[in-house]
């Protein structure tokens, strides 16, 4: 059933030359595009080269690189959770509090000093708690229509406080079974178990976002919520699902962190909030610029950990590391913004 | 009443071209001191372009604009119009909620100050109170504008014009969304201002108020002022005829339509709507839609057309009434419910409601039918199948795009519209009723014809499908529809079908009262008593 219509040259022209009047000269345009798409990757390579040159014997070694991969796993997992929410143009700033609470809860559940259940039961329960808290956030945001930004800050504070209260602001060392510690500390084929766990979660997140209907709907919702709704998408269900995934990811991250530490430190997750967002935003400034993606987030998390490790090897102090990491985030947002401006 | 006061603004032979449209084709109009001039005409007749030229928003391509007998400065722009005492009150409420009435009215003029820094609130209030007294209103200058009624908000906007010592006031559809009593209040303010010597240009679609309020009427059609006469020498009927124009000779074409008698014998209507309501926009609408019909919804802005479409498609929830499809009552709580029942909406504002602009053509086309392009049984999408389905749509609808991956943001308006159509067409099998809200807005002539052909194909009696079309262009409705329902103030004002659908007929239905044509089943609203 094809319809014949005389082609209109004026129309074709309009399609082929978008926004010609506003476009800068071709060379500048080209530089900007390349910078936008590959800038972050180039910066990562340069950073890597600098560390390698400064401390060839300490940095550019298999042990260090494996260490970076291991240490970035919890951050990447938390950040992948956030990526789902960011894709839908929402924010969940309770992720730090969620990680703290879940990390504490898993240890408290298995420690004989508190509850003392089998460590596998403790893990399952913790995952369920993460999901339940995420569901609470999601329902409050998408059904009760509370503003996500401030609500999740408040909820994060509640979660952090709850974690501290459970253990009376003390760390818990006793009664943690070795089998639990082995989850994060064990290794396989020379790589930490955390690397494999992270990889599995990365693959799942990638497939969901890129290859499932739910993932496509999430991007559509982020791009134009009203068009998504009028197309028949279950907008509130999708938004809620995003917060649930953050809860799940935070629980996994918290479990891994305390499995690695062999202890429960009730403010584990607080320091992870900014890096988790930094990783996702770094990720959004590469590949398809301005678009959050699972792969981008993973690369972002790896980069942040690489800098953390590198700066530690250069024996820079914690505050300096913070300043540099914050500065990198500002740069990444700038790159994403600049390249978006050329697209609009 | 001064009938021919001093001319403040004179426009002669104004010409304004937009790409593909001649908006003004030599329009002449004089605005005089102490006079209310009514300006009427169909959508696209050129009224708003005249106002834009007057306001300095658009530069005319030809003709002359004189203010106080002299051409305005070379760089005439809206702030200069403002300085010269021309004020424009648009139909949208342009106040700042959170600020007081006094702060709103004096906004843009320098607020009186104390110590050169702080707002002198008492003096500000006194100045504003004087303006409000002139408007004979008891609005408290200290009240937050957010707490005012619509008519009070409009009075505040007029007050701002007075505070700025405007000599000429353009009121663009000021009675929209006002009740009868509020309109009376507005009219007495307008008369008061006229008697004080102001010149008022009153633009309205409501002919009753044009006839009762104004001193002189100008009718625009096709970019010209085709009738200009003192109001008391005009009848309602003459006005309707002037607005509609002559019927083009031999323009009425035979078209297939479902006759009333055929509809009666058909077993069930496809869609049955009874007393559907969501005040204030939709008050009480009932109609049936039969397979094969292209049902037009005609009505002025504010008649409830778009709001009705949103109710039918689940975009908004109704507060009363029934919609049933093939005998089953629907609970339309969301668009998803409507789509499941086979009703989909192509919204008026496609950029903000129809498309994900950052998505490519493929992703937009398959958004509403993604589960039909699966790889296997799992909800995994198959890009290959999506692309194939999209390619088919691209060629069927002749969407001009380099590839199916092109961002829709970069397509022209007509092609964007076709992408929205394609989104619903790919799941055509399951849809029974497609609602098109202004389907040809911003679309060029070629694409327009194609969209018409598409709509005709979508409404198919044998497949049991139908279309509902909303359009502000009467000409489109006369060419496309098998039946037209006219809406006025949220209710059905009349219907026309088959070869009775003419522009004159639609104008008289939509404007109401005094139209001499025979009309079937019209519930007349007595507006003048």
Candidates A80, A273, A106; CA nearest to A180 is A106
Determine, for residues A1 and B396 on separate chains, whether the beta-carbon distance falls below 8 Å: yes
DSSP symbol at B71: P
Nearest CA in chain A to B309: A230
- Residue B254: its pLDDT value, please? 47
- Residue B110: its pLDDT value, please? 77
Name the β-bridge partners of B407: B360
Identify whether the C-beta of residue B252 lies closer than 8 Å to the C-beta of residue B76. no
Show the low-confidence residues of chain B (pLDDT under 70): 1-4, 19-20, 177, 246-267, 428-429, 442-446, 513-529
Q: Is A9 touching B (CB cutoff 8 A)?
A: no
How close B361 comes to chain A (CA, Å)?
A: 13
| Nearest by CB: B336 against A211, A220, A232 | A232
Determine, for residues A231 and B396 on separate chains, whether the beta-carbon distance falls below 8 Å: no
Do the strands B328-329 and B320-325 form a parallel or antiparallel pair, or are they unpaired?
antiparallel
Identify whether the C-beta of residue B155 lies closer than 8 Å to the C-beta of residue B139. yes
First to last CA, chain B: 24
How close B65 comes to chain A (CA, Å)?
A: 31
Sort out which chain B residues have CB atoms less than 8 A from A5's CB and list them: 398, 446, 449-450
Q: What is the pLDDT of residues B143-160, one digit of tens each?
A: 998 888 878 888 898 888
- Residue A3: its pLDDT value, please? 38
Tell me, what's the ipTM? 0.81
A positions 205-244 inside 8 Å of B (CB): 207, 211-214, 216-217, 219-220, 223-224, 226-234
Determine, for residues A231 and B423 on separate chains, whether the beta-carbon distance falls below 8 Å: yes
- Residue A301: its pLDDT value, please? 93
A positions 175-194 inside 8 Å of B (CB): none
| Nearest by CB: B336 against A8, A234, A290 | A234
- Residue A10: its pLDDT value, please? 39
Determine, for residues A15 and B444 on separate chains, whether the beta-carbon distance falls below 8 Å: no
Question: Which residues have C-beta within 8 Å of that of residue A288, sequence separation ≥ 6?
Answer: none
How close A208 comes to chain B (CA, Å)?
A: 8
How close B453 comes to chain A (CA, Å)?
A: 9
Nearest CA in chain A to B341: A232
Sort out which chain A residues have CB atoms less than 8 A from B409's CB and list them: 344
In chain B, % helix, strand, coil (3-state, to 5) comes to 35, 25, 40
Neighbouring CB atoms inside 10 A of B228's CB total 15
Q: Is A169 touching B (CB cutoff 8 A)?
A: no
**Which mean pLDDT values do the consecutive 10-residue runs of chain A (344 residues) have?**
39 38 58 69 83 83 89 96 96 95 93 88 96 97 94 95 89 87 89 95 96 95 93 94 97 94 81 90 80 93 89 82 81 70 46
Q: Is B411 touching A (CB cutoff 8 A)?
A: yes
Sort out which chain A residues have CB atoms less than 8 A from B434's CB and list them: none
DSSP string covering B493-510: EEEEEGGG--HHHHHHHH
B positions 436-465 inside 8 Å of A (CB): 444, 446-447, 449-450, 453-454, 457
Rg over CA atoms, chain A: 22
How many Å separate Cα B146 from the centre of its chain? 25
Nearest CA in chain A to B443: A11
Nearest CA in chain B to A1: B396
Tell which of A231, A233, A238, A291 to mutate to test the B interface (max B CBs under 10 Å). Answer: A231
Tell which of A14, A15, A232 to mutate to test the B interface (max B CBs under 10 Å). Answer: A232
How close B446 comes to chain A (CA, Å)?
A: 7
DSSP string covering A130-183: HHHHHHHHHHHHHTS---HHHHHHHHHHHHHHHHHHHTTT--B-TT--HHHHHH
Nearest CA in chain B to A9: B400
Sort out which chain A residues have CB atoms less than 8 A from B403's CB and list them: none
CA distances from residue B33 to B3, B233, B309 in whole angstroms, order as listed:
9, 20, 43
- Residue B442: its pLDDT value, please? 67
Q: Where are the domains of chain A?
A: 61-267
Determine, for residues A230 and B359 on separate chains, whether the beta-carbon distance falls below 8 Å: no
- Residue B328: its pLDDT value, please? 84
CA distances from residue B390 to A15, A78, B230, B343, B362 in whole angstroms, order as listed:
18, 36, 58, 22, 6
CB pairs under 8 A between A and B: 110
| Nearest by CB: A3 against B335, B347, B453 | B453
Tell which of A210, A230, A237, A241 to mutate to test the B interface (max B CBs under 10 Å). Answer: A230
**Rounded Cα gap, residues A110 and B340, in angstroms:** 48
B positions 334-393 inside 8 Å of A (CB): 334-336, 338-340, 344-345, 347, 352-359, 363, 367-368, 370-371, 379-381
**Rounded Cα gap, residues A238 and A232, in angstroms:** 12
Nearest CA in chain A to B451: A3
Helix (DSSP H) and strand (DSSP E) numbers for chain B: 17, 21
Identify whether the C-beta of residue A255 lies closer than 8 Å to the C-beta of residue A249. no
Residue B9 belongs to what H/E stretch? strand B7-18
Q: Is B421 touching A (CB cutoff 8 A)?
A: no
**pTM (global) more than 0.95:** no
| Nearest by CB: A226 against B353, B359, B380 | B353
Identify whether the C-beta of residue A74 lies closer than 8 Å to the C-beta of residue A257. yes
Sort out which chain A residues have CB atoms less than 8 A from B444's CB and list them: 8, 11
How close B154 comes to chain A (CA, Å)?
A: 30
Determine, for residues B334 and A3 on separate chains, whether the beta-carbon distance falls below 8 Å: no
- Residue A315: its pLDDT value, please? 83
- Residue A6: its pLDDT value, please? 40
- Residue B9: its pLDDT value, please? 92
Do the strands B294-298 and B483-488 form a parallel or antiparallel pair, or are they unpaired?
parallel
Percent of chain B past pLDDT 70, that is, above it, reads 90
Determine, for residues B347 and A11 on separate chains, whether the beta-carbon distance falls below 8 Å: no
Sort out which chain A residues have CB atoms less than 8 A from B356's CB and list them: 219-220, 223-224, 227-228
How many Å separate Cα A326 from the centre of its chain? 16
Assign A16 to helix, strand or coil.
helix
A positions 85-144 inside 8 Å of B (CB): none
Sort out which chain B residues have CB atoms less than 8 A from A216's CB and list them: 363, 367, 370, 381
A positions 149-168 inside 8 Å of B (CB): none
Nearest CA in chain A to B365: A231
Determine, for residues A232 and B412 on separate chains, whether the beta-carbon distance falls below 8 Å: no
- Residue A171: its pLDDT value, please? 85
Candidates A331, A301, A323; CA nearest to A83 is A301
Q: Is B180 touching A (CB cutoff 8 A)?
A: no
Q: Is A18 touching B (CB cutoff 8 A)?
A: yes
- Residue A25: its pLDDT value, please? 58
């Amino acid at each position: 059933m094809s319809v014949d219509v005389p082609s209109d040259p004026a129309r074709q022209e309009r399609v082929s030359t978008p926004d010609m009047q506003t476009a800068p000269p071709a060379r500048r345009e080209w530089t900007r595009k390349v910078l936008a798409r590959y800038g972050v990757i180039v910066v990562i390579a340069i950073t890597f080269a600098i560390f390698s040159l400064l401390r060839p014997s300490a940095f550019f070694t298999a042990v260090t690189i494996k260490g970076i991969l291991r240490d970035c796993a919890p951050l990447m997992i938390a950040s992948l959770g956030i990526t789902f929410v960011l894709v839908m143009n929402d924010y969940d700033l309770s992720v730090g509090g969620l990680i703290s609470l879940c990390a504490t809860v898993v240890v408290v559940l298995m420690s004989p000093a508190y509850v003392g259940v089998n460590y596998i039961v403790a893990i399952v329960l913790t995952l369920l708690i993460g999901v339940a808290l995420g569901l609470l956030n999601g329902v409050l945001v998408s059904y009760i229509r509370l503003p996500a930004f401030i609500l999740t800050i408040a909820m994060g504070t509640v979660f952090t406080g709850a974690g501290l209260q459970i253990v009376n602001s003390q760390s818990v060392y006793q009664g943690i079974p070795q089998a639990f510690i082995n989850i994060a500390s064990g290794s396989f084929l020379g790589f930490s178990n955390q690397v494999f766990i992270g990889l599995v979660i990365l693959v799942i997140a990638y497939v969901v976002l890129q290859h499932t209907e739910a993932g496509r709907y999430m991007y559509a919702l982020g791009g134009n919520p009203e068009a998504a709704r009028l197309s028949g998408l279950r907008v509130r269900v999708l938004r809620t699902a995003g917060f649930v995934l953050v809860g799940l990811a935070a629980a996994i991250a918290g479990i891994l962190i305390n499995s690695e530490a062999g202890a429960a430190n009730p403010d584990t997750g607080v320091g992870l909030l900014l890096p988790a967002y930094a990783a996702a935003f770094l990720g959004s400034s590469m590949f398809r610029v301005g678009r959050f993606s699972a792969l981008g987030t993973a690369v972002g998390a790896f980069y942040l950990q690489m800098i953390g490790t590198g700066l530690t090897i250069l024996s820079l102090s914690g505050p300096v590391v913070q300043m540099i990491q914050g500065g990198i985030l500002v740069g990444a947002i700038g790159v994403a913004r600049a390249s978006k401006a050329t697209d609009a | 009443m001064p009938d021919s006061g001093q001319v403040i603004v004179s426009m002669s032979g104004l010409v304004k071209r937009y790409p593909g449209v001649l908006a003004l084709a030599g329009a002449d109009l004089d605005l005089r001191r102490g006079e209310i001039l009514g300006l009427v005409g169909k959508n696209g007749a050129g009224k708003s372009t005249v106002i834009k030229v007057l306001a300095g928003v658009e530069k005319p391509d030809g003709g002359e604009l004189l203010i106080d007998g002299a051409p305005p400065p070379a760089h005439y722009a809206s702030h200069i119009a403002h300085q010269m005492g021309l004020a424009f009150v648009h139909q949208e409420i342009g106040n700042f909620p959170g600020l007081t009435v006094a702060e709103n009215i004096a906004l843009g003029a320098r607020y009186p100050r104390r110590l050169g820094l702080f707002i002198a609130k008492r003096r500000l209030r006194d100045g504003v109170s004087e303006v409000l007294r002139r408007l004979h209103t008891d609005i408290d200058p200290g009240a937050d504008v957010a707490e005012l009624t619509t008519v009070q908000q409009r009075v505040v906007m007029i007050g701002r014009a007075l505070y700025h010592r405007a000599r000429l006031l353009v009121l663009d559809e000021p009675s929209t969304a006002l009740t009868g009593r509020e309109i009376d209040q507005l009219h007495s303010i307008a008369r008061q201002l006229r008697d004080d010597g102001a010149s008022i240009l009153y633009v309205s679609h409501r002919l009753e108020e044009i006839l009762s309020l104004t001193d002189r009427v100008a009718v625009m059609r096709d970019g010209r002022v085709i009738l200009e006469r003192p109001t008391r020498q005009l009848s309602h009927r003459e006005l309707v005829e002037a607005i509609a124009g002559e019927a083009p000779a031999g323009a009425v074409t035979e078209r297939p339509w479902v006759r009333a008698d055929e509809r009666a014998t058909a077993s069930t209507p496809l869609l049955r709507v009874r007393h559907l309501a969501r005040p204030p926009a939709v008050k009480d609408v009932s109609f049936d839609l039969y397979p094969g019909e292209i049902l037009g919804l005609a009505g002025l802005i504010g008649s409830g057309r778009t709001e009705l479409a949103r109710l039918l498609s689940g975009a908004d929830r109704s507060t009363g009434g029934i919609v049933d499809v093939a005998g089953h009552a629907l609970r339309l709580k969301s668009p998803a419910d409507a789509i499941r029942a086979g009703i989909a909406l192509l919204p008026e504002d496609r950029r903000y409601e129809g498309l994900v602009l950052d998505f490519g053509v493929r992703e937009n086309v398959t958004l509403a039918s993604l589960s039909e392009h699966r790889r296997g049984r799992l909800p995994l999408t198959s890009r290959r199948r999506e692309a194939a389905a999209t390619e088919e749509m691209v060629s069927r609808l002749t969407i001009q795009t380099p590839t199916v991956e092109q961002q829709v943001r970069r397509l022209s308006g007509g092609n964007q519209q076709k992408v929205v159509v394609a989104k619903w067409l790919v799941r055509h099998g399951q849809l029974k009723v497609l609602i098109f809200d202004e389907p040809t807005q911003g679309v060029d002539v070629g694409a327009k014809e194609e969209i018409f052909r598409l709509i005709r194909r979508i409404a198919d009696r044998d497949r049991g499908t139908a279309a509902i079309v909303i359009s502000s262009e009467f000409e489109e409705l006369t060419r496309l529809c098998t039946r037209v329902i006219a809406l006025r103030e949220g209710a059905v004002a009349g219907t026309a079908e088959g070869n009775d659908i003419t522009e004159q007929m639609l104008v008289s239905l939509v404007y109401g009262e005094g139209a001499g044509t025979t009309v079937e089943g019209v519930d007349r609203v007595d507006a003048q008593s």
